[in-house]
Chains A and B, each alone.
Chain A
Amino acid sequence: MGGTRGGFLVNVIARCRELAQLIAEADPPPLTIMEVCGTHSHEIARYGLAQLLPDQVRLISGPGCPVCVTADGDLDAIVQIAQQGAIIATFGDMVRVPGPRGSLADARAAGADVRVLYSPMQSLEVARQNPDREVVLLGIGFETTAPSIAVTISDAAGEDLKNFSVHCAHKLIPPAMAALVEDPECRIDAFLCPGHVSTIIGTQAYDFLAEDYNIACAVAGFGPSDIMEAIYAIVGQIKGATSYVHNAYTRAVQVEGNTVAQAQMAALFEVADAEWRGLGTIPASGLRIGDEYAVFDARNRYELEPPIERDPGPCICGDVLQGKALPADCPAFGSACTPQSPIGPCMVSSEGSCAAVFKYQRQQG
């Protein structure tokens, strides 16, 4: 195979097949496993892992893509800030998510200044180079990105950057997982717990799901065999009628997580209720900038028009996300809601359940 053949490791491939065999031999009962991490969704699609699993083991994509679950209120505010002339500094995939006033890409086409970053620290450089303009960094993401945004704000405060602020729409994953399983109709039997997020919050963050809700949990890494290992561990819990948090990503994740990063988040942010696209408002599921750093909160700097309320119409993403409905059950699917003009998070994300089904059907048709 060699380095010029994509660098796929032979032992990873063999281990995937071995795990597929073990899972099939375990002959689990019908089982729905939800992943709540965009990269897991991506890797599952990239390697076609669902095809390795017995029919009764169903994988569904939860609210794991941070740009996809960003609510209309935030999208509306961000686009308004861009339209008011601030430089918007953002991670790339936020650019094309459509809000009530269009996407950042639309705003950019109309003259707004939108800069795509690879590290939030680059936003400080943009602010230094444009001292006469306001720079607004978009704080989008889960526990993985929040610490780096916290450090960025802290650095901005350290050098007293006056033209820098953050629109903070960070979200916390465990409260969303709890909201999903609290619904009595929820069909989720197990969570494939996120990898990057877990490096920050540790496996302990999911204990309550196993203990209070009897949901099997396994923290997974990002290689195909990592994900298969975690699924095999979940199948073991289901077969044994037990639930706990299995750590299948021990090379990066510890029980207590990254306490330094947790401290950075605690110093900058306060936990707040947050609105999730497709799921509505979930208590204590988001972060806002704490009072000490309020001067860096873009919400305090811009006079914005009230958000345009969009009727989600017949969108049933909430049900799809909870495993209660299939994309095809949604009356908007493929008509009012398409990847080019998505309504709910399942269509916004290229790996979302609805987007995946839409693309596959269209290409076959």
Chain B
Amino acid sequence: MLTTHLPPADAGHPPPPSDTEGGKKDRRDAYPTICNGVAVWGGRLSEAPALQKTLIRRAKASRIMNAGKNSETINLGHGSGGAMMQELIAQELLPALPGQSPQALEDAATISIAADRLAFTTDSFTVQPLVFPGGDIGTLAVHGTINDLAMRGATPRFLSLGLIIEEGLALELLRQIIKSIGAAAREADVNIVTGDTKVVGHGSADGIFINTAGIGECGAHVPSVTAAQPGDKVLVSGTLGDHGIAVMVAREALEISADLRSDTAALHTLVAAMLEAGGKAVHTLRDLTRGGLAAALNEIAASSGVGVLAEATAIPMRPEVGSACEILGLSPYAVANEGKLVAMVEPGAADDVLQAMQSHPLGRDACVIGEVISESPGMVQLQTPIGTRRVLELPAGELLPRIC
């Protein structure tokens, strides 16, 4: 049950003050985002090097004890709460995550935050293969939770990180995943403030499962899945299906020679640009993860009590993704994305929001794909290329290729 709390990342912030007296002692107020129990930014940092030394000393002892055992894979001992676990945390986790100093093994992180409205979300991540073109499970775990916060217009601030590792996972692979987590968090300027590591027996997990929870600061306007209104334009931020198809092709080792890469990305800066351009006119935001566009539009239609009419020819898609879907018998509209969103925007502001999206690197291929209508509430219709309409269904369940 040992819980490891990782102190804040300092990406984008000045480094923590050295252990000096006087004027700098109130850095906690200057950077009031976070404060762990041992006063991370406060005056007691002298504790940190001592604890770090202790941890490293124990880790070395553990390595000596384990000499001759296979130290290149994770085993149950790494989750035991003892020396091996501390080695894992001290050697592998903390150095890789942004701004860590392992002084704070408190039971909970404490955070101070200025905003009076917070967004709070959690998401768990399982994917096979763990590493795929364009990212890995670590990148997904950071981006996915950031994006859930971003869809409520919130600025992501803090993440928790829970790892459930299956024994036998290669240490090198774990290092790579942790490195990705660190890099994604740094790039998005969020702090990973608390964490937990468990190791389960062989067969009890699929390599590694990751859970992240996130806290963000809401802005003046909070988009909602219930707020779409007839007349709104439906915007998507780019090409659909890239992630799901890249992962499927990698997982099944399909011999499809195309440059298929996951689109995994943190969307909060794109959302910030959209909200700056459109403000309250941005009624609804939804990231297009599992279930893809079809699920997102159906959820919005049902929650807002509106109909949606999308135009098939307007939906952006890479030709290679479209072709892979044809080969595999999948609907590209039901395939997952990890760096795309759909927005319902008042018609008067749609052009401005679209322009803001297209000016952002993650929204270059953004376009209007349809509109919200009052007819057929709860239903999503797709205008086909030949001018007929069909229902775009909520995907049934597991995405399974068709035989015929």
Residues of A within 8 A of B (CB): 1, 3-8, 12-13, 16-17, 37-39, 42, 45-49, 51-52, 64-67, 91-96, 105, 116, 118, 140-142, 144-145, 196, 224, 339, 350, 359-360, 363-364
Contact = CB atoms under 8 A, between A and B. Distances in A.
Contact of B404 (A3, A37, A48, A52): A37
Given A3-B319, A91-B401, 7 more contacts: A7-B317, A8-B312, A38-B402, A39-B404, A91-B403, A116-B400, A224-B385
A106 to B, nearest CB: 12
Nearest to B332: A6
Interface string B377-404: 0110000111111110100111011111
Interface residues of B, number: 35
Contacts of A145: 403-404
A93 B387 CA distance: 30
B376 A118 contact: no
A1 B314 CA distance: 8
Contacts of A363: 376, 378-379, 391, 393
A144 B398 contact: no
Contacts of A7: 317, 319, 322
Contacts of A140: 403
Contact of A47 (B254, B316, B384): B384
B386 A13 contact: yes
B404 A64 contact: yes
B328 to A, nearest CB: 7
A178 to B, nearest CB: 20
Contacts of A118: 252, 254, 328, 401
Contacts of A339: 396
Interface of B: 239, 252, 254, 312-319, 322, 328-329, 365, 376, 378-379, 384-391, 393, 396-398, 400-404
A4 B403 contact: no
Nearest to A4: B316
Given A4-B317, A6-B315, A364-B379, A93 B402 contact: yes
Nearest to A64: B404
A98 to B, nearest CB: 12
A91 B330 CA distance: 13
Contacts of B322: 6-7
A4 B389 contact: no
B403 A6 contact: no
Contact of A48 (B313, B314, B389): B389
Contacts of A42: 402
A52 B329 CA distance: 24
A45 B319 CA distance: 22
Contacts of B312: 6, 8
Given A47-B386, A118-B252, A224-B386, A5 B403 contact: no
Nearest to B239: A4
B400 A65 contact: no
23 contacts: A4-B239, A5-B314, A13-B386, A17-B386, A37-B404, A38-B403, A47-B385, A48-B390, A52-B388, A92-B402, A93-B401, A93-B403, A96-B400, A105-B398, A140-B403, A141-B404, A142-B404, A144-B404, A196-B404, A224-B385, A339-B396, A350-B393, A364-B376
B376 A141 contact: no
Nearest to A67: B403
B394 to A, nearest CB: 9
A42 B390 CA distance: 12
A140 B404 CA distance: 11
Contacts of A46: 384, 390
A86 to B, nearest CB: 18
Contacts of A6: 312-313, 315, 317, 322, 385
Nearest to A94: B403
A8 B313 contact: yes
Closest 7 CB pairs of A and B: A48-B388, A92-B400, A38-B404, A8-B385, A92-B401, A51-B388, A363-B379
A64 B315 CA distance: 30
A46 B390 CA distance: 7
B391 A360 contact: yes
Nearest to B238: A4
A286 B79 CA distance: 55
A66 B313 contact: no
A95 B400 contact: yes
A101 to B, nearest CB: 19
B307 to A, nearest CB: 10
A318 B239 CA distance: 43
A198 to B, nearest CB: 13
A339 B314 CA distance: 30
A270 to B, nearest CB: 22
Given A38-B403, A363-B376, A4 B390 contact: no
A160 B297 CA distance: 52
A3 B319 CA distance: 6
Nearest to A14: B386
Nearest to B315: A6
B397 A96 contact: yes
A48 B389 CA distance: 6
Contacts of A51: 388-389
Nearest to B298: A363
B401 A116 contact: yes
B328 A359 contact: no
Contacts of A364: 376, 379
Contacts of B252: 118
B315 to A, nearest CB: 6
B400 A93 contact: yes
Contact of B385 (A13, A65, A66, A92): A13
Nearest to A196: B404
A91 B390 CA distance: 27
Contacts of B398: 95-96, 105
Contacts of B315: 5-6
B248 to A, nearest CB: 10
Contacts of A17: 386-387
A339 B322 CA distance: 27
A3 B391 CA distance: 24
A141 B319 contact: no
Contacts of B378: 363
A133 to B, nearest CB: 15
A65 B329 CA distance: 13
Contact of A66 (B317, B319, B376, B404): B404
A45 B390 contact: yes
Contacts of A48: 384, 386, 388-390
Nearest to A356: B391
A144 B319 CA distance: 27
A39 B239 CA distance: 25
A3 B404 CA distance: 26
A260 B254 CA distance: 26
